[in-house]
């Protein structure tokens, strides 16, 4: 019975670590996407930092990526940047890969 309990605890610990890693990758991805969008809008360095934080915060509105995509696309469109939803989604995917690389490089 003890081996079963040990295995169960190990699986729970792995699940918790995997969830934490996924959260950290998503947060970094959103920050990178915010920085990318800020560059598209020609924001100042101070505005870029603030905007990147706002994009990270936008991810807490609902489950999934739609809240982030909606925010970034809306802000880019309002700033007069010629981009569509597919362009934002492509940037999001690119930043996902970059965020994973950065995070795994730190470990």
Q: What is the pLDDT along the chain (107 residues), one digit of tens a residue?
A: 677 777 888 888 888 888 899 999 999 999 999 999 999 999 999 999 999 999 999 988 888 899 999 999 999 999 999 999 999 999 999 999 999 999 988 75
At 101 the pLDDT is 95
Q: Report yes or no on whether pTM surpasses 0.95.
A: no
At 1 the pLDDT is 61
At 107 the pLDDT is 59
Q: Does residue 38 come out as left (phi exceeding 0), alpha (psi in the -120 to 50 range) or beta?
A: alpha
Taking the domains of the chain in order of start, what are their residue ranges? 2-106
At 39 the pLDDT is 97
**CATH fold group of domain 2-106:** Major Prion Protein (1.10.790)
Rounded Cα–Cα distance for residues 7 and 74 (Å): 47
């Amino acid at each position: 019975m003890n081996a079963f309990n040990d295995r169960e605890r190990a699986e729970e610990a792995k699940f918790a670590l995997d969830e934490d890693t996924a959260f950290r990758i998503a947060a970094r991805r959103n920050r990178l996407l915010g920085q990318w969008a800020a560059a598209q809008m020609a924001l100042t360095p101070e505005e870029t930092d603030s905007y990147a934080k706002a994009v990270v915060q936008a991810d807490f509105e609902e489950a999934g990526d739609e809240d982030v995509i909606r925010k970034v696309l809306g802000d880019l469109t309002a700033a007069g940047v010629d981009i569509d939803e597919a362009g934002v989604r492509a940037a999001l995917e690119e930043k996902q890969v970059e965020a994973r690389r950065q995070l795994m490089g730190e470990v």
